Amino acid sequence: MFTSVILAAGMGTRMKSEMPKVIHRVCGKPLAKWVIDASKAAGADAVLTVTGHKSEMVRSVLGGSCEYALQAEQKGTGHAVMQALEFIKAHKGSVVILNGDTPLITADTIDKAIQYHNAQKNYATVITAVLDNAEGYGRIVRGRDGGVLKIVEHKDASEEERKIKEINSGMYVFDSQALSSALERLTPNNAQGEYYLTDTLEIILSDGMKVGAYAISDNDEIRGVNDRVQLSEAEEIMRARINASHMRNGVTMHIPESIYIEADVEIGNDTEIGAAVTIKSGTKIGSGCVIGQGSTLDGAVICDNVEVLSSVIINSEIDGNTKVGPFAYVRPDCKVGKDVKVGDFVELKNSVIGDGTKISHLTYIGDSDVGKNVNFGCGTVTCNYDGKDKYRTAIGDNCFIGCNTNLVSPVKVGSGAYIAAGSTITEDIPENSLAIARERQVNKNGWNDKREK
């Protein structure tokens, strides 16, 4: 049983952004949301985020994923946690303090820090790391017996203290009562005139309660994001973690360091992913698929044994055993059936394509309802837009659409109908009939001989 308080009121000046730092994204997920999700995965009963700078924007992005407290003016980390006092008092037991700009913290580390905190019967446990370059961080000052005495900020530290390599990650486990009582006694007596959360450790110690440190082994987990370079470094680490977890689940990746897969993507086992593939949040891929080099999938739902070669699929569903590409573009709101072929230079938009249909080359199908086992000749175009409005095209089962056909919508092609190559269809075609809609050919025999004379 524990709760989390996530500090996210700061401005993030070095991002040089109109957007608050904590809603910048790593692998498609806002920085602070990674921290919220890690807390929940570790078993937090409740999570509260302290917002301040552009609070409304932060809250609209993070939505209902946590509770909120407002820190209207940023007067330090201790002051930020004070804004959550009501929440902290309402939940007895442990409260974990985390930062909204450290997305790489894992549920496992949160869990282990809490276990350590409980086993040591601590009232405060600071999560620490040992860094070769500790510049800028608060340093952990320990007594002769090795116990934590206090944390001294870089700006307030003496020459001796600045040599300490054990640093404060800015993450802690507190007993909620010990923390709230200490917060009520914080003062801003330091170099920056801020309320330092770190000063609560000394107050808790002076109350005769035990304080300790939990040292983590993977320093990446405490990496903060302060600028766009660190944002890309954090994303690089997250990307590698995401890819490794898919590979462990049975996904084959070729040149995984070139593959970008966002958070919240599902991929079945025995699916193979080629180089330079991008897969965005919300995409689901079944088993036994091949997602070939250079493809982009965004909000796509791909069933089993589908092949997608060098193609783009956005917010659409592709049923089993279908082949897409190379170089196909499936735009939003398509539902493509089983055993379909969507070949090279084919564009689909807001259309339903029935099972077994073949759209092999150079075709545009928009706003259409296509039946089963239809064969599209090369170069078919649905003319779905008259410059003002869009209309639908309906094509029944088992039709044969000759090459270079224009279907001027709204228009219906009955089941089993054939369309002669080169036709421009403007009227509905009854079932099982042949439509020819082009000029008859005229041959002028010997025409060239006459011209030359």
∠ CA 17-22-25, rounded to 5° = 80
- Choose one: 23-31, 39-47, 96-104, 375-383; the region binding ligand UD1 (CB under 6 A): 96-104
Cα–Cα dist 241/235, whole Å: 10
Cα–Cα dist 317/332, whole Å: 9
- DSSP bridge pairs for 162: none
Name the phi and psi angles at 18, rounded to 5: -75, -15
Residue 28 touches ligand UD1, criterion: CB under 6 A: no
Q: Which of 44, 47, 48, 50 binds ligand UD1 (CB under 6 A)?
A: 50
Residue 74 touches ligand UD1, criterion: CB under 6 A: yes
∠ CA 180-201-22, rounded to 5° = 70
Helices 176-183 and 199-206, axial angle in degrees (round to 10): 110
Helices 55-62 and 31-41, axial angle in degrees (round to 10): 50
Pairing of strands 46-51, 29-30: unpaired
Identity of the residue, 18 or 449, whose beta carbon is nearer to ligand UD1 in the bound complex? 18
Residue 197 touches ligand UD1, criterion: CB under 6 A: yes
Cα–Cα dist 44/66, whole Å: 11
Residue 30 touches ligand UD1, criterion: CB under 6 A: no
Residue 55 touches ligand UD1, criterion: CB under 6 A: no
CB 325 within 8 A of CB 309: yes
- Choose one: 161-169, 259-267, 306-314, 421-429; the region binding ligand UD1 (CB under 6 A): 161-169
Residue 103 touches ligand UD1, criterion: CB under 6 A: no
Identity of the residue, 196 or 214, whose beta carbon is nearer to ligand UD1 in the bound complex? 196
Does residue 410 have a cis bond before it (omega within 30 degrees)? yes
361 noted as active-site residue: yes
Q: Which of 68, 87, 137, 329 binds ligand UD1 (CB under 6 A)?
A: 137
Residue 204 touches ligand UD1, criterion: CB under 6 A: no
Give me the catalytic one of 53, 154, 254, 361. Answer: 361
Name the token pair of 315. 């917010």
Q: Which of 37, 153, 262, 319 binds ligand UD1 (CB under 6 A)?
A: 153
Number of residues that bind ligand UD1 (CB under 6 A): 28
Identity of the residue, 44 or 242, whose beta carbon is nearer to ligand UD1 in the bound complex? 44
Q: Which of 28, 30, 76, 268 binds ligand UD1 (CB under 6 A)?
A: 76
∠ CA 76-79-80, rounded to 5° = 85
- Choose one: 162-170, 256-264, 347-355, 421-429; the region binding ligand UD1 (CB under 6 A): 162-170
CB 109 within 8 A of CB 123: no
Residue 341 touches ligand UD1, criterion: CB under 6 A: no
Shortest distance, position 140 Cβ to ligand UD1, whole Å: 9
Residue 319 touches ligand UD1, criterion: CB under 6 A: no
Identity of the residue, 28 or 170, whose beta carbon is nearer to ligand UD1 in the bound complex? 170
Q: Which residue type does 325 have?
A: G
Q: Which of 75, 117, 349, 412 binds ligand UD1 (CB under 6 A)?
A: 75
Residues 216-235 that bind ligand UD1 (CB under 6 A): 224
- Choose one: 108-116, 164-172, 328-336, 406-414; the region binding ligand UD1 (CB under 6 A): 164-172
Name the token pair of 51. 């917002």
Shortest distance, position 119 Cβ to ligand UD1, whole Å: 24
Q: Which of 39, 49, 77, 368 binds ligand UD1 (CB under 6 A)?
A: 77
- For 176-322, where are the E strands, in sequence order? 211-215, 252-253, 260-261, 266-267, 272-273, 278-279, 284-285, 290-291, 296-298, 301-302, 307-308, 312-314, 317-318
- CB nearest ligand UD1: which residue? 138
Give how far the C-alpha of residue 96 lies from the chain's centroid of Cα atoms, to the nearest Å. 25
- DSSP of 241-252: HHHHHHHHTT-E
Residue 94 touches ligand UD1, criterion: CB under 6 A: no
Shortest distance, position 281 Cβ to ligand UD1, whole Å: 24
Binding region for ligand UD1 (CB under 6 A): 7-10, 50, 52, 71, 74-77, 79-80, 99-101, 137-138, 151, 153, 167-170, 196-198, 224
Residues catalogued as catalytic: 361
